[in-house]
Amino acid sequence: MRVLGVDGGQSGIRLRHSSGDRVVEVEGVSRLEGDTVATVAAAIAEGWQASGFQPIDRVVLGLSTAPTDADPRGRLCALVGQATDAADVWLADDAVTTHAAALSLGWGVSVVAGTGVACLAVPEDGEPHLIGGHGYLLGDEGGAFWIGREGLRAVLRALDGRGAPTALSIAAAERFDGLDDLGDRLHSVRRPVNDIAQFARDVLAVADDGDASAVAIADQAADELVLLVRAGVAAVGAADQPVPVALGGRLLDEASPLRRRLDRRLRTDLPGVAVRTADGSSLDGALALGCAGDAGRYRGLVYIWQRPIGP
């Protein structure tokens, strides 16, 4: 089975063929960009055409912008199938593909923090549970957009005299070419979610230097991720053994400031869980699912489109 794995978010869309390790990346797609289905499909087609990859039998899409209604899902998969000449296209939220990689298709809880946050709890037996997320407007607490937004709010409040002075102002001025009209400028950029999310690393770095505003944001982000883990462990419901918990995403690298905070909190608040770094990325998970040939424990969360047979 020749599989194309796709990991798609608002910061970037990555493609990899099951025959090798080379990754092709194109610009991500925000939910703000009009017809998201058409835009995501066009971005994947662009990456496929530029890749020079060998022919494929199946595409597996793990997308943070995955549509939930049947018609948009079918339309997206059909467009990708036409662009790649794949016989079938599997579509899932990126929480599914991140879990598949993070726990090597096993049971347990995965929490992945990138631009947003994806959490999936899968018991040894029974149905999986998607927890949190909900997108940048209503959720994704503890993710890069949430951290970046809270950091910029602190900057703007300090600039207005409504908040305490903060070293985040210096970091924001460097990243965004000054603070004049910063709010207006960010509302006018083409991809504001991505631009704001990029500020998260600055917030966490300033927190490591002890700035009070940044420390409060970083601590709250860790608190929110602990809540996700706690809810996931409860959903798994394993009382007789430690629950595997895999942490991944660029904000939860082993050496990252947020990961250090989260590890400390989990040791204190949830000592009965078995925490580890994710075994792989969402792209790895998409390929693992596709090559397995069966959606397995994720079956209820994967939409499968097949190319019509006949003239």
CATH code of 138's domain: 3.30.420.40
pLDDT band at 218 (very low <50, low <70, confident <90, very high): very high
Instruction: Report whether pLDDT(63) > 70.
Output: yes
Q: Is residue 311 part of a domain?
A: no
Q: Supply the pLDDT for residue 30.
A: 64
> Could you give the 3-state DSSP secondary structure of residue 252?
helix
Same domain, 138 and 181: yes
Same domain, 237 and 93: no
Instruction: Report whether pLDDT(262) > 90.
Output: yes
Mean pLDDT over 146-174 rounds to: 93
278, 282, 284, 290 alpha-carbon torsion, rounded to 10°? 130
Residue 12 — φ and ψ, nearest 5°? -175, 160
Q: Is residue 133 part of a domain?
A: yes
Same domain, 274 and 286: no
Q: Which stretch of DSSP H or E encloses residue 33?
A: none
Cβ neighbour number for residue 58 with a 10 Å cutoff: 24
Same domain, 65 and 213: no
Give me the helices (H) in 177-275, please: 182-188, 192-197, 200-208, 212-236, 257-269
Distance CA 114, CA 190 (A): 20
Tokens standing for residue 286: 């998409």
Which range, of 32-41, 51-60, 197-206, 267-276, averages the lowest pLDDT?
Answer: 32-41
Same domain, 179 and 262: yes
Same domain, 203 and 184: yes
Tokens standing for residue 273: 């869980």
Q: What is the mean pLDDT of the chain?
A: 88
Mean pLDDT over 268-282 rounds to: 89
Its domain, for residue 160, covers: 105-278
Same domain, 121 and 260: yes
Q: Supply the pLDDT for residue 32.
A: 55
Same domain, 32 and 61: yes
Tell me if 225 sits within 8 A of 111, measured CB to CB: yes
Same domain, 198 and 62: no
Q: Is residue 11 part of a domain?
A: yes
Same domain, 242 and 266: yes
Q: Is residue 135 part of a domain?
A: yes
Distance CA 225, CA 39 (A): 31
Tell me if 179 sits within 8 A of 165, measured CB to CB: no
Distance CA 301, CA 84 (A): 23
Residue 102 — φ and ψ, nearest 5°? -60, -35
Kindly report, residue by residue over 75-127, the tens digit of the pLDDT. 899 999 999 999 999 999 888 999 999 999 889 999 989 888 889 999 888 88
Same domain, 267 and 238: yes
Number of structural domains in the chain: 2
Tell me if 258 sits within 8 A of 218, measured CB to CB: yes
